[in-house]
Structure 1
């Protein structure tokens, strides 16, 4: 068996993709997506990346509708469908075949009630399941005990279907996650960017006409995100790839080793608090000084002051915030960036 613990990004993407898909039962689709994410992690740890392909990888990463492929993965040339359920009786041979008789192999994934852990129970060839069902139907009366079990081969036997290969752990080395604020490594005057997508390590891409040797990260710059139709700071980072894809917001690709976490991550429009206060008020960044050594390099205005002028839930482009505050007589306050922290609103 193989245990996978999905993180917050996995949960958000699995759910939002199910919503975008327009499923009749969003819960079932979300759980199915989590099962695919769990099997993808198994493949990454135990199978050569050149010999498996996840059909729905881009759809789930960008929360787009799936192409309705007849199977979820192709491994060593076999079509594999991943079945995820809390009820293990769903994995009895007859139940599996009633829902999916056409794929080569079925992988069975059990999940906990709160979906915080998924266990890959095993896998089986569809032809073997058909044989088991035929055998079961040949008996009348009480089913023999030797047939009253889940039909599943251990997960670690899946690699036996392919050529002999050494155990290869090909999990990403990339330290970044969507939503991280980064700058180009070694560039003291580099602009702050937002990580939108962390691409799988085998997805070699090109930058400036040359193949990139290493893991790629797609980032967007806040000023471009600000030009979108909504307040992207109120969107969960897991959904940023979907938002950028829908709105045709340009992404820039970097090798992950060419990026580093931004020392001063703030940009106009960010929601922040001063955490050393007992009950800090929510504020919005108005301007960020270019000189990092300034004692007070971040100007902010408190959100309740802004809402008093423009109304609740009113969104204003970050480029207009400073001038609006000046014209409306809204007081601004200056702090050093180290005194502030994000107070995300997604």
Structure 2
């Protein structure tokens, strides 16, 4: 058995995708999504990437509705469905067969009430489950009253279904995650971008007609995101991909090795505080110097959904608002509270 602990990004995406799916039971769909994410982590660490495929990976990463599919994964050519439940009786052979008898394999995932931990308890072939149900129905003696049969095989036995391969840990080497501010490496005049998507290591991506050899990162630039209908800085980083896809905001793909964390991560429209102040007031970045690391800010300035960031300098001048200049090292991002959009 394996324990999976979802992080906040997993939780946000699992919930938002359930909402976008327009599921009849949002809670059930959310925990089902978390179960799929848990199994993906198992596959990534224990199975060769060319031998498995997660059908719903893009839908959950981008919080988009899923295309209909009768199963969640394909592993070694088998159709695999992930069943997630808090009720352990849901993993009895008859219950599993009643709910799903069309796939080849069922993976069983149990979760805690508050969804902070999931346990991959095992898997079983559907044919074996059907056989167990038939055998139990034909059993002529008295069934035990205090001992219920749960059909599971150890998770690691999945490896035996495929060819002999060495243990493969395919966890990403990519250091970035959505929301990070990055710039192109070895470029002294690089623009600051925002990481929107981190693609799985096995994803094949073409750049300029050539297959990218490495892990891909998709980046959006703040100037394009500012043209959207809302204030993207309010949006949780886990949902930036969903927002950009919904609003048709251009994304640019880079090999992760060609990016670096931005030395000066701030751009016009960002909400910041001055770290040396005891009780700092939030400010809005109005201008970013092209020649040095100086930032111009305005206190109690308008939000991005009130005045477009590109218009902030003119707005401050027209309204007679006082502005202040600081080095970027004197500032940090303000916590303005993020909402699911």
- The whole-number CA distance in structure 2 between the counterparts of 1:114 and 1:274 is 37
Instruction: Note closer, same or farther for the CA distance 1:205–1:140 as it changes in structure 2 (3 Å cut).
Output: same
- The whole-number CA distance in structure 2 between the counterparts of 1:21 and 1:122 is 28
Structure 1, unmatched stretches of 5+, are: 308-312
Instruction: Note closer, same or farther for the CA distance 1:264–1:186 as it changes in structure 2 (3 Å cut).
Output: same
- The whole-number CA distance in structure 2 between the counterparts of 1:190 and 1:219 is 13
Q: What is the CA-CA distance between 1:328 and the residue it aligns to? A: 0.5
Report SS of the residue matched to 1:227: coil
Report SS of the residue matched to 2:6: coil
How many residues are paired up? 337
Q: What is the CA-CA distance between 1:147 and the residue it aligns to? A: 6.6
Retained in 2: the 8 A contact 1:269–1:318? yes
2:291 paired with 1:300: no
- The whole-number CA distance in structure 2 between the counterparts of 1:63 and 1:4 is 21
Retained in 2: the 8 A contact 1:136–1:147? no
2:314 paired with 1:317: no
In terms of mean alpha carbon deviation, does 274-283 or 172-181 score higher?
A: 274-283
Normalized against structure 2, the TM-score is what? 0.95
Paired position in structure 2 for 1:70: 70
Instruction: Note closer, same or farther for the CA distance 1:42–1:157 as it changes in structure 2 (3 Å cut).
Output: same
Q: What is the CA-CA distance between 1:116 and the residue it aligns to? A: 1.7
Retained in 1: the 8 A contact 2:85–2:110? yes
Q: What aligned pairs does 1:48-59 form with structure 2 within 5 A after superposition?
A: 48-59=48-59
Report SS of the residue matched to 2:60: helix
Q: What aligned pairs does 1:1-346 form with structure 2 within 5 A after superposition?
A: 1-139=1-139, 142-144=142-144, 148-292=148-292, 294=293, 297-303=294-300, 305-306=301-302, 315-345=306-336, 346=338
Retained in 1: the 8 A contact 2:231–2:305? no
- The whole-number CA distance in structure 2 between the counterparts of 1:128 and 1:157 is 15
Q: What is the CA-CA distance between 1:190 and the residue it aligns to? A: 0.4
Report SS of the residue matched to 2:133: helix
Retained in 2: the 8 A contact 1:234–1:344? no
- The whole-number CA distance in structure 2 between the counterparts of 1:69 and 1:279 is 53
Retained in 1: the 8 A contact 2:178–2:197? yes
Q: What is the CA-CA distance between 1:139 and the residue it aligns to? A: 3.5
Alignment RMSD (CA, Å): 1.7
- The whole-number CA distance in structure 2 between the counterparts of 1:85 and 1:275 is 46
- The whole-number CA distance in structure 1 between the counterparts of 2:305 and 2:160 is 59
Report SS of the residue matched to 1:9: helix
In terms of mean alpha carbon deviation, does 161-170 or 136-145 score higher?
A: 136-145
- The whole-number CA distance in structure 2 between the counterparts of 1:103 and 1:81 is 7
Q: What is the CA-CA distance between 1:69 and the residue it aligns to? A: 0.4
Normalized against structure 1, the TM-score is what? 0.93
Retained in 1: the 8 A contact 2:271–2:284? yes
Q: Deviations over 1:163-193 (max 9, x none)?
A: 1111011111100000000000111210000
- The whole-number CA distance in structure 2 between the counterparts of 1:238 and 1:98 is 35
- The whole-number CA distance in structure 2 between the counterparts of 1:129 and 1:212 is 43
Retained in 2: the 8 A contact 1:306–1:330? no
Retained in 2: the 8 A contact 1:183–1:260? yes
Q: What is the CA-CA distance between 1:140 and the residue it aligns to? A: 6.1
Paired position in structure 2 for 1:310: none
In terms of mean alpha carbon deviation, does 191-200 or 203-212 score higher?
A: 203-212
Q: What is the CA-CA distance between 1:145 and the residue it aligns to? A: 7.3
- The whole-number CA distance in structure 2 between the counterparts of 1:183 and 1:344 is 23
Structure 2, unmatched stretches of 5+, are: none
Q: Deviations over 1:94-116 (max 9, x none)?
A: 11112111111000011122212
- The whole-number CA distance in structure 1 between the counterparts of 2:320 and 2:140 is 86
- The whole-number CA distance in structure 2 between the counterparts of 1:156 and 1:187 is 46
Retained in 1: the 8 A contact 2:230–2:305? no
Retained in 2: the 8 A contact 1:194–1:219? yes
